[in-house]
Structure 1
Amino acid sequence: MNANDTNLFNVNVSIVHPEYFFIAGLSGVPYSRYYYIFLFCTYIIAVIGNCTVLLIIAFDRSLHTPKYIAVFNLALADSCETNALIPNMMRMFVFESQNISYNACLANMFFVFFFGTTQCSTLVVLAYDRFVAICLPLRYHAIVTNTVMFLMCSAIWTFNAFLISLTVYFINRLSMCKSNVIQSFFCDHGPVYRLACNDNSINFFMGQLSTGLYLIAPLILIVLSYLGIFLALSKITTWERTLKALKTCVSHLLLVASLFLPIICIYLIASTTYLSPNARIISVSLAYATPPMLNPIIYVLNTAEIKLLIRKVFKNRSVPS
């Protein structure tokens, strides 16, 4: 090995990190103040709704079942994702401060994606719960126990924390010398790593891996679980029993639709037609912000146990002491 070859391994590559990023957000969107009012209402409903579901499940022992452990996990992820995303957007609007420090940006990226991916993963767990309950009803209580569900939810949080931490770590290895303007409404992974002037192929790979693990794979698993459910229901002779079994899946199907359909529509529209940056930012922010608001509403309206408990609470308060 000659001297020139040796020098190849001694090149000192400096990593440049900006002091802060500027989040473009909705600064160029006409009448953006009305959109922020909508976000504020969404935030209030999401926080109150999910906290209500968390408290009901925590204090009502009759809901300490595998299914409601998963629902509790989903409500917790929804509440945390809402608090990681919307208050920062509101801060930018109210205080007209769209600057965010480099470390705060990475923290924002981690928490938004961590809780968002936990939502997707929990929907797969709920699909598994419905699959076993309908396809293997006699073995359900032996297969899906509280311990098994708790371990599954714990595994989701652990694995997602590891993968998202790794994704953020690779962002930290990039040299940001193109710009410090993020064309998104938060510290989004794609818009951030595209600002790098050194090799960002590993970041592209992590983005594709996350898309496959948390969008494509969950959707495939959920579809396969419901194919098995519909196959099992086709063997039931009475329509009443079929309808009763289907009613137990309504809440979950609505949750899946509220989370996945907007994202699928955005990608399909973006791939077939031109979307302006403002239209993309608004549509993607709605896809992030709306499901945490809808999820508690869906479960309260479609779950007999929760509705019964709420009626009892209001009935007890209405009785004079």
Structure 2
Amino acid sequence: MEYQSLNRPISGANQSSVSEFLLLWLSRQPQQQQLLFVLFLGMYLATVLGNLLIILAISTDSSLHTPMYFFLSNLSFVDICFTSTTIPKMLTNHVLGSQSISFLGCFTQMYFLFLCVDIDNFLLAVMAYDRFVAVCHPLHYTTKMTPQFCALLVAASWGIACLNTLLHTLLIARLSFCADNRIPHYFCDAAPLLKLSCSDTHLNEMLILTVGGLIITIPLVCILVSYICITSAVLRVPSAKGKWKAFSTCSSHLAVVSLFYGTIIAEYFSPSSSHSAETDTVTTVMYTVVTPMLNPFIYSLRNKDMKEALRKLIGRKTSSI
């Protein structure tokens, strides 16, 4: 996504104090809006239900009280928060026949959206490190991945994400905004807000490209290094069965990593010349809606322990009714 400097002259004719923004729907056709409403409602319910089942299965099954599933339950919680920052507001606006979101509501939404993206990013890196220790240093796994160390990793992820998100949100909130308050998204994002601003946005752009870039690239590099080491270790395993067993413990995480970073890179780090309104909309929907919805399915369908825990959980629920 291209972050352009908008050094517009400030004049009373083309500037006003913006108290709210208008979130434009994905389509202006009423029939398509009805279809999208049903589609997004279904995806939101599937995301919440799927991730809640993952959390409940992990918390109720003692065999899943391990670092890997501890991180997975945190990832599922963040994914619920992730979709809950955008979709309910969009669905509510559709029911009320409104497009508005208050100035404070817009920046609150943007803060929690950025927060969830950053935490997802860090948790995926932490989970890659967990798989690295499990595959490359199995004899030292229990001594390295202690409950205290796992809790520290999650707390550090939340702390760094909160500080980074607060920095960007406060710097954007200090900007002045012009009379045009239409955001061509179904949620508040940094790029359209910077384009609406009448202020000098050089500082915001610089921090997004540097600090924001580091927040994304450092965990991604850690993930790549971890999987290079994992691949090297797996290739040294003599039996084909042993190689498959070692790789199968990482396959679900690798699928989620590919989906998450693929859509993020396509949206924010691809050349601006390759962007169009349609492609931006598709990639935005992919990382804000589709990825959180698919995560529980990927982990449950490709994981025997998780499938067994879900089977026990659903069996207990149905027997108690």
TM-score of the aligned structures, taking structure 2 as reference length: 0.87
By how many angstroms is 1:153 displaced? 0.4
| CA 282–89 in structure 1, closer or farther in 2 if over 3 Å, else same | farther
1:113 corresponds to: 114
Distance 2:205 2:116 in 1: 21
String of CA shifts for 1:257-297, please: whole Å, max 9, x gaps: 2212233345687645352x244224312321111111111
Tell me whether 1:285 sits opposite 2:285 in the alignment.
yes
By how many angstroms is 1:312 displaced? 2.9
String of CA shifts for 1:35-75, please: whole Å, max 9, x gaps: 23221111010000111111122222222211111111100
2:142 corresponds to: 141
Tell me whether 1:262 sits opposite 2:263 in the alignment.
yes
**One-letter amino acid matched to 1:20:** E
| CA 175–316 in structure 1, closer or farther in 2 if over 3 Å, else same | closer
| SS in structure 1 at match of 2:22 | strand
String of CA shifts for 1:66-102, please: whole Å, max 9, x gaps: 1111111100100111111111111222222111110
**One-letter amino acid matched to 1:235:** R
Tell me whether 1:78 sits opposite 2:75 in the alignment.
no
Tell me whether 1:36 sits opposite 2:37 in the alignment.
yes
1:89 corresponds to: 90
Contact 1:17-1:102 within 8 A present in 2 as well:
no
2:11 corresponds to: none
By how many angstroms is 1:216 displaced? 2.7
Distance 1:279 1:40 in 2: 22
**One-letter amino acid matched to 1:172:** A
1:12 corresponds to: none
Distance 1:176 1:319 in 2: 57
| CA 16–135 in structure 1, closer or farther in 2 if over 3 Å, else same | farther
2:303 corresponds to: 303
Distance 1:185 1:319 in 2: 41
Distance 1:316 1:106 in 2: 42
**One-letter amino acid matched to 1:54:** I
- Higher normalized contact order (CA 8 Å, seq sep 6+, divided by chain length): 2
Distance 1:100 1:135 in 2: 49
Contact 1:57-1:64 within 8 A present in 2 as well:
yes
Contact 2:16-2:179 within 8 A present in 1 as well:
no
Contact 1:300-1:307 within 8 A present in 2 as well:
yes
2:59 corresponds to: 58
Whichever of the two has the greater Rg, that structure is 1
Structural RMSD (CA)? 2.5
| SS in structure 2 at match of 1:21 | strand
Distance 1:70 1:125 in 2: 8
By how many angstroms is 1:181 displaced? 1.4
Tell me whether 1:234 sits opposite 2:235 in the alignment.
yes
| CA 212–98 in structure 1, closer or farther in 2 if over 3 Å, else same | same
**One-letter amino acid matched to 1:281:** T
By how many angstroms is 1:303 displaced? 2.1
Map 1:170-319 → 2, pairs under 5 A? 170-177=171-178, 179-209=180-210, 211-266=212-267, 271=272, 273=274, 275=276, 277-315=277-315
Distance 2:149 2:284 in 1: 34
Q: Which moved more, 1:192-201 or 1:257-266?
A: 257-266
Contact 2:53-2:310 within 8 A present in 1 as well:
no
Q: Which moved more, 1:123-132 or 1:304-313?
A: 304-313
Distance 1:317 1:57 in 2: 15
2:163 corresponds to: 162
Contact 2:125-2:219 within 8 A present in 1 as well:
yes
Q: Which moved more, 1:294-303 or 1:119-128?
A: 294-303
Count how many residue pairs are aligned between Structure 1 and Structure 2.
307
| CA 313–71 in structure 1, closer or farther in 2 if over 3 Å, else same | closer
**One-letter amino acid matched to 1:146:** P
| SS in structure 2 at match of 1:194 | helix
Distance 1:309 1:101 in 2: 43
Distance 2:162 2:79 in 1: 16
| SS in structure 2 at match of 1:198 | coil
| CA 226–29 in structure 1, closer or farther in 2 if over 3 Å, else same | farther
| CA 97–315 in structure 1, closer or farther in 2 if over 3 Å, else same | closer
TM-score of the aligned structures, taking structure 1 as reference length: 0.87
Tell me whether 1:20 sits opposite 2:20 in the alignment.
yes
Q: Which moved more, 1:219-228 or 1:259-268?
A: 259-268
String of CA shifts for 1:217-247, please: whole Å, max 9, x gaps: 3322211111111111121111111111001
